[in-house]
Amino acid sequence: MNTQDELKDFFVDFFVPIDNIPENTTRRDSICMEARASLLIEANCTSEYFPAFMKSGVPGSNCWIYKFSQPWSCKCLHHFNNNYKLSWSFKEFEIGTPSINWNWHSANTWRLKIDMKSSANLNIINEFDPPFNYVQLIDWENSDAPRLSNNILKADFEQVNSYFQQVYRSRFQLCSQISPYKTPEQVCRFFGNRGEVFAKLKSDSMRPDCFLKDLDQTVPRRSDQADWSEARIEQEMFLEILPCSPQGASLLPLCHKYNGWFCQVFPFKDEFDEIRMQLIKLYMPKTQTKCLVPVTTWIRENYPYNQYFCVPLPKDKQPLYNLDLLLKPETETVILTDSVELADSNQRNAFDGILFTSFICSPEHYEQVDWAPLRNKTIYYLITNHSGISLESAALKARKLKEYLVKEEPEIKLFFVTLPVDYKLEGHLGRSRTFKSVDDILQNYEEWPPVVKTTEIKFWESDEEFLEFCAEAEEIIKSHNIIKPPTLAEITRYCQQEEIFFSEWMSRPSE
């Protein structure tokens, strides 16, 4: 049996389609740029240049002090004889040498600024006395506050400070309120980096690390999540990573696991079988889209814990997916796709000697990918409709990549195969259905599984045939544009711009 026959048998019997929900690369890039700016701020916050970045600081004892654009406040419940609501308010924060205790709870370079011997920080409300508010004078060195000891107040302050770290884990969100550098691109340029998602990233005092191997831990479940799937709970937890996770010992493990066809964490491994980057898949009901966000883990000087940042690997070029398998000498035939999801879902069932791979980059910026491992391999580029992309549009994307490789990587030759998938209108959240959570997506896939059009699978024997197919695809797209029915991608962009739900758009009367 030749390679094409073997591949066709695989596509007919084992190919696993993904969903047909459009991917939102605009949102991905927004998340990554904010994370990129936050990482550079974090890495440089104690450098000699940082006061010039902020412009408004006042030097203190082993720190710099900055005013909030408006006072930052929060409330917490305190239990001591009676219940008290402590309403904390801060006008300033400081950045300086970390104050580290034995359990590392206070290892924070960024801290809320206490006004010593003043009434500026705390308002106490006694819930059992008649309603009243009064400002409690606190002497942090010699507290004589009624009922509340100095040590207890300090413990409460530590909780408030931890909450501050959580709220402003994106240092960009905090500093952009104060600094004259208001956009992630401006921040990147100030610290000597390009303001682009996939540009090389350099930073002081921080560097990327490898992820620990999969730790398939039980996902903690709240009482109001009793009917949720683990996938839905993890989706909510992923939001705590955007655009970067808080510092500290508690770090959500990113596990590469399947629920049937479904997976939402995709590890990029290097030649040493170490995970250097992961993609997390987020579904966004508001825009009816999904987002594949790169996540890397970073270590810093004199600190025992890693921190996630939603930035790709800080290199000139991004690695191919399944690189560890691609570099093995026994890998001879490669199926290249434009979807990491497809490469992942189908590698599980791949025959010996056959590898699925994919890539991430900005649209049509193929120079951001390291293609070198594909040299001396037999490569079939799989053209299929998925993620709201029509077969014709996928073909034109393939032609663009071919043009790039012919010019920049002439040693790499692509053969092409088309594989149409039938996503029924009623299923895969097409024109008549929307999703409110990932559980809707899982149920929808089970009820309306996509079907490969096996009789229409085609291997293109020559470049001429393939280019003729692309020309026909281009004409089909043009003819659709003449009639001008809105495509799913156009509807998605409109919904994003107008910030409405897809279902709201679908319910509008036709004009």
What are the angstrom distances between the C-alpha of 107 and each of 101, 215, 415, 430? 7, 26, 54, 49
Lowest mean pLDDT among 142-146, 221-225, 408-412: 142-146
Contacts of 427 (CB under 8 A, 6+ apart): 433, 444, 445, 447, 448, 449, 450
pLDDT classification of 423: cutoffs 50, 70, 90: very high
Give me the pLDDT at residue 144, please: 43
Report which of residues 64 and 127 the model is more confident about.
Answer: 64
Contacts of 424 (CB under 8 A, 6+ apart): 430, 448, 450
Q: Which two tokens stand for residue 84?
A: 């008290």
Q: Which residues pair with 418 in a beta bridge?
A: 383, 458
pLDDT classification of 88: cutoffs 50, 70, 90: confident
Give me the pLDDT at residue 76, please: 78
Unique residue bearing structure tokens 């207890």: 152
**What angle do the packed helices 463-483 and 391-408 form, to 10 degrees?**
130
Contacts of 206 (CB under 8 A, 6+ apart): 39, 42, 43, 298, 299, 300, 301
- The average pLDDT across 192-197 equals 96
Helix (H) or strand (E) holding 398: helix 391-408
DSSP conformation letters of 456-477: G-EEE-SHHHHHHHHHHHHHHH
pLDDT at 501 over 60: no
Give me the pLDDT at residue 302, please: 82
Residue 196: Cβ-neighbour burial (10 angstroms; 0-12, 13-18, 19+): middle
Main-chain dihedrals φ then ψ at residue 387, nearest 5 degrees: 50, 40
pLDDT classification of 304: cutoffs 50, 70, 90: confident
Task: Measure the CA–CA gap between 239 and 252, rounded to whole angstroms.
Answer: 11
pLDDT at 125 over 80: no
Q: pTM of the entire structure? A: 0.87
Task: Kindly report, residue by residue over 5-49, the tens digit of the pLDDT.
Answer: 999 999 999 999 999 999 999 999 999 999 999 999 999 999 999
For the chain, the domains span: 3-33+227-506, 56-175
Average predicted confidence (pLDDT) for the chain: 86
pLDDT classification of 216: cutoffs 50, 70, 90: low
Q: How many whole angstroms from its chain centre is CA 457?
A: 34
Q: Percent of the chain beyond pLDDT 70?
A: 81
Q: Between β-strands 134-135 and 122-126, what pairing exists: parallel, antiparallel or unpaired?
A: antiparallel
pLDDT at 432 over 60: no
